[in-house]
Amino acid sequence: MKEKKIIDTATFDWTIIVIYAIMVLFGWFNIYSASWNESAGSIFDLSKNYGKQFLFICISAFIAIFWMFLDYKLFNIFSYTVYFLLIALVISVFVIGKEVAGNKNWIAIGSFNLQPAEFAKYGVSLALAKFLGTPDARLSDKFTFRISVLIFLLPMILILLQKDTGSALVFLSFFLVLYREGLSGVWFIIALCSVIIFVLTLYFGNIWVSGVFAAIALLFYIFSSRKKYLTIPVLLITLAVTGFSSSINLIMDHVLKEHQKKRILVTFGLLEDLKKEGYNVHQSKIAIGSGGLLGKGYLQGTQTKLRYVPEQHTDFIFCTIGEEWGWVGSMTIIILFVVLISRVYYLAERQKNRFNRIFAYCVASILFFHFTINIGMAIGLVPVIGIPLPFFSYGGSSLIGFTILLFTLIRLDSTRSTEMSTLKDMY
C-alpha cells in the first residue's frame, strides 16, 4: 500500500501541463496588454485586472498541484456530492446573487465575484462520468438516457433562468459525450440539417426552401425503384422540413429575443448593424484583421488598447492576440487548442476505466465547445455568445474551473497503469 502512495511524476501527461502553462501565462500577458495604457504600472498590480489574474493564476497553480496529489478515488466517490453541491450553489444565485448588467449570475465574495456556472460544468462532468461509468449503464436504455440528459439539462435550465444564455449553451457539449457513449449519430445529422435549413431559410425565405426541397423529394421519389417503402418516409421528411422552415420566422420573432435575433442575422450578413448588435463583431474583426501577418507587436495594438472592442479582456481576448500577434500568433493559439483538445480526446480513449474515459470526454467536449464558439464569434463565424476562451479570458471562476477540470483529468490519467487493482477496490 505504501508504494501506491508515492506519486510518480512521470505518469502525468506533461504535454497537457505544458500547453496549460503556456496558455495561462500567454493569456495573462494579453490581459495586461488589453488593459494597458501609458500609465499602466506593474503587471502584478492587484487593483487591476491583470494583477487579479495573476492572483487567480497562483490560486490555480496551487489547486493544480494539490489536485495532482489528491487521492484519485475521491473524485469517483464524491462525484454526486460535488454535483449536488454545485447545483445548490447555482440555485443559491437566485437568492444571494448579484446582478451585473441585468444578468443575475454572480455571487460576491469579498471583492471577488464567483460565477457558479463555471464550476457547474465540473459537477456535471463528474456526475455524468459516474452515472454512465457503471459497468451496466447502456444509453440504449431509455431510463439511462433520460437520466444522463437530465444531469446536464438541470443546471443548464437553471442557468438559462439566470439569463446567462452563453454559459447555459455550453452544457450542450455533453451531447458529444453521449455520442461517444452510443447515442445515435442520426441526431447530429438531424441537428446539422436543421442548422442548414435554418440558414438557408434566413437567406432565401421559407417558401423557396420548402418548394425546392419538395421538388427534390418528388424527383427522388419518381426516379426511385422502390416506391412502396419510400412513400411514407419521403412524405414525412418533406413535411418536417417544410414545417420547420415555415416555423423559423415564428421562432425568430417570438421565441428569440430581439438582440439574439439580430446577432444571428448579423452573423449571416443579413443585417448591417455596426452600431449596436453588430458593433462587437465588427470591431473585433477590425482589431484582428488589422493585425496582419505578424501583428502590431506586444502592447502596440491600437484597437484593443483604445477600447474599441468591448470586453476585450474577457470574452474578446482573442482580439488582442489577433491584433498584436497577427496571423502567426492567432495560428499558434488555434494549434495549441487543437493539440490540447485532440490530446484530451486521445487520452480519453486510452483509459481503461469508463469513469475516467467519460470524464475525459466531458473535459474535451467542454473545451471544444468553448474554443469553437469563442474564437468563432471573434472572427464573425458564430453569433455572439458570451463565453470565455479557456485559460485566456480574464476571470477567476473560469480559470479555476478549467484548471480543476483539466487537472482532475491529469490526475485520473496518471493512474491508468494501476487502475485494474483500484477497480477491484471500488466495486
Partner 1 sequence: MSKGGNRNLSLIIAVIAIGLIYSIRLFYLQVIDTSYVEFANANSKKILTIHPNRGLIYDRHNKLIAFNDNFYDLSISYPFSLKNFDTIGFCNILNISKENFIERLKKAEKTVYKGSATFYKNLEYYKYAALQERMYEFGKFYIEIKTDRMYKTNSGAHVLGYIGEISKKQLEKQNEDGYYSKGDFIGLAGLEKYYEKDLRGIKGEEVILVDSRGRQQGSYLKGKFDKTPVSGKKVTTTLDLMLQEYASKLMQNKAGSVVAIEPSTGEILTLVSSPAYKPEALTIRNKKLNYGKLLNDPTLPLYNRAVTAAYPPGSVFKLLNGLIGLEEEVIYPETTFPCYRGYSIANLHVNCHPHPQNLDLRGAVANSCNAYFCNTFKEIIENPKYKNTRDAYIHWRNFMLQFGLDNKLGSDINFESEGNIPTPEFYDKMHNNRWGFTRIISLSIGQGEILITPLQMANVISAIANRGYYYTPHCIKKIDDKNAIPVKFKTKHKINIKKEHFEVVVEGMKQTLINGTAARTGIEGIEICGKTGTVQNPHGKNHAVFMCFAPKDNPKIAIACIVENAGYGATWAAPIATLMIEKYLKRDTVSSKPEMEERILKAYLLKTPKSKDSVEKKNELEREEINNQKTDTSKRKTTKTNFKNVALITEKLALNKNERKKNN
Binding site for partner 1 (CB under 8 A): 37-38, 176, 179-182, 185, 283, 285-293, 302-303, 305-308, 322, 326-327, 330-331, 334-335, 337-338, 341-342, 345-346, 348-349, 364-365, 368, 371-372, 375-376, 379, 381
Q: How far is the CB of 206 from partner 1 (least distance, A)?
A: 28
Of 51 and 182, the one with the shorter C-beta distance to partner 1 is 182
46 DSSP assignment: T
Q: What is the signed CA dihedral for 287, 53, 10, 420, rounded to 10 degrees?
A: -100
Q: How far is CA 224 from the centre of its chain?
A: 43
Closest separation between CB of residue 330 and partner 1, Å?
Answer: 5
How many CA atoms does the CB half-sphere of 182 hold within 13 Å?
11
State how far the alpha carbon of 136 is from the alpha carbons of 132, 229, 280, 346, 422, in Å. Answer: 8, 37, 48, 24, 18
In the bound state with partner 1, the residue whose beta carbon lies nearer, of 348 and 404, is 348
Specify the residue, 159 or 344, whose C-beta has the smaller distance to partner 1: 344
For the CB of residue 303, give the shortest distance to partner 1 in the complex, in Å: 5
**Residue 296: CB minimum distance to partner 1, A:** 9
Q: What is the rounded distance in angstroms from the CA atom of residue 4 to the CA atom of residue 409?
A: 19
Q: Please identify which residue in the block is written with the cell numbers 438541470.
A: 154
Residues 283, 288, 52: CA angle, nearest 5 degrees: 85
Least Å distance, CB 54 to partner 1, is 25
Helices then strands, counting H and E runs in the chain, come out as 18, 3
Q: Is 305 exposed, middle or buried (0-12, 13-18, 19+ CB in 10 A)?
A: buried
Report, in Å, the least distance between residue 335 CB and partner 1: 7
**Residue 205 vs 376, nearer CB to partner 1:** 376
Residue 115 or 303 having the CB closest to partner 1: 303
Tell the burial category of 63 from Cβ atoms under 10 Å away from its Cβ (0-12, 13-18, 19+): middle
d(CA 412, CA 416): 7
- Residue (166 or 295) nearer to partner 1, CB: 295
- The least CB distance from residue 15 to partner 1, in Å, is 15
**Which residue's CB is nearer to partner 1, number 209 or number 344?**
344
DSSP β-ladder status, 112-114 and 98-100: unpaired
